[in-house]
Amino acid sequence: MEKLRQFEKDSEICMYYECEPERFLGAVIPPTFGNSLFLYPSLEELGNAVKDETEHYVYWRGTNPTVEIAEKKLAALEQGEQCKCFASGMAAITAALFYSVKKGDHVVCVSHIYKSTVDILKYLQKFGVEYTVTQSTSPEEIEKEIQPNTKAIYIESPTDMTFKMVDFEKIAALAKERKIKTIADNTWATPLFQKPLSFGIDMVVHSASKYLGGHSDLVGGALITSSHIMKKLFKKEFLLFGGIMGPYEASLLLRGLRTLPMRMKAHEENAIKIAKFLEGHPKVARVNYPGHPSSEDQEIIKKQLLGFSGLLAFELKDASFKAVKAVINNLKIFKIGVSWGSFESLVMSPNYGYNTADLKKEQISEGLIRLSIGLESTDDLIRDLEQSLERI
């Protein structure tokens, strides 16, 4: 019941919060403010505004009224105090990491996170920041990797490709004891189905290019945190780095948010049925999806997730590249491509035939196929998978 009420409240935020028509001449949706700067009647008033660009509209790199509406909605959905939107998910992740560390610091990064995030940690080495990737997602394993100079723990839950859950509450507690900042990528669940800040996580990052946008026509990112952290981060990693979201992208994000609750319900319903079909298929070795009862993380799932999105993976019993490419290339409805979280069903594999050594090192099955379940008919999607699995 509580879960349902939360979902209804969040749906209201997605559609109407901060969009009161009386603020915008009765417009049913807020206008897109395309002006790059705002005018002031006197130098003194401009001087007062530039002192705090979070509270005043000065220049679009700082605060834009259209982007601000999306930021207020995302902050409310994540139950955080402040949000800033970025040019991409990677820009938001970079800002969170650069804010958290300085020369000589160390980052613990949970295993199987989005690969480019690990690449940013690698890049940070040139500024004297070290990192360790944990062997598993367990809090004990994460705790073991903490060093005296650890200043940040970076989490993605569920993890990339393996879809293992990470216990936010336990990790936030052990990090707080040691004054370590925690950052969680919440792109998979969206703020509708998981709220990391409510478990004590310090910063949440999103790629808005996935479900939040939802139509494969937007690249964007968001960072949600306390006012205390945002006050400092806004001036440096946001305003100075300049990787900000523009108002036209924000209007696409706002359009995506209006239908996010309904889309997420449909993605969830479709994906649960498809995971069940795959689990029972004789050519499938395992299904990686928190929405399927075979997931080992039931305790964390019950505590942490309010629902399941539509991104999952399965592993073929025949893990050869020949089998992987036969299944993928014979699919008709699933399109082959990167990214995920949109209306269209997508398929890919981290196995490109030339990188098996990397997959072994990363402990990812060579027979893994990732599906982003879209909004098409589930029966059609299952029929499509059925006929392509018959090819091997």
- Return the SS3 of 365: coil
- Alpha-carbon distance of 236 to 274, in angstroms, equals 45
Question: What gap in Å lies between CA 233 and CA 316, rounded to an integer?
Answer: 44
Q: Measured between alpha carbons, how far is residue 240 from residues 61, 62, 232, 243, 249 in Å?
A: 9, 9, 11, 9, 20
Number of residues engaging ligand PLP in binding (CB under 6 A):
12
Query: Which DSSP state fits 37?
Result: B
Residue list 153-172, contact with ligand PLP (CB under 6 A)? 156
In terms of CB distance, is 215 or 281 closer to ligand PLP?
Answer: 215
Candidates 94, 190, 194, 209; binder of ligand PLP (CB under 6 A) is 209
Q: Residue 119, interface with ligand PLP (CB under 6 A)? A: no
Contact pattern for ligand PLP over residues 313 through 352, marking x by CB under 6 A: --------------------------x-------------
- Single residue of 155, 219, 244, 245 touching ligand PLP by CB under 6 A: 219
**Residues 301, 165: contact at Cβ < 8 Å?**
yes
Q: In angstroms, what is the minimal distance from the CB of 341 to ligand PLP? A: 8
- Contact range with ligand PLP by CB under 6 A, out of 82-90, 286-294, 320-328, 374-382: 82-90
CB of 339 to ligand PLP, least distance (A): 6
CB of 221 to ligand PLP, least distance (A): 5
CB of 220 to ligand PLP, least distance (A): 6
Region of 353 (left: φ > 0; alpha: ψ -120 to 50; beta: rest) is left
Residue 88 interacts with ligand PLP (CB under 6 A): yes or no? yes
89 binds ligand PLP (CB under 6 A): yes
Q: Does 221 bind ligand PLP (CB under 6 A)?
A: yes
Decide if residue 187 touches ligand PLP (CB under 6 A): yes
CA atoms within 13 A on the CB side of 23: 11
Say if CB 75 and CB 121 are below 8 A apart: no
Q: Pick the closer one to ligand PLP by CB: 187 or 225.
A: 187
The contacts of residue 43 (CB under 8 Å, 6+ apart) are: none
Quick check: 186 binds ligand PLP (CB under 6 A)? no
Q: Which of 238, 234, 227 is nearest to 202 (CA)?
A: 227
What secondary structure does DSSP assign to 234-252, as a single string?
A: IIIIITTT--BPPHHHHHH
Q: Classify residue 352 by its DSSP letter.
A: -
Binding site for ligand PLP (CB under 6 A): 88-90, 114, 156, 185, 187, 207, 209, 219, 221, 339
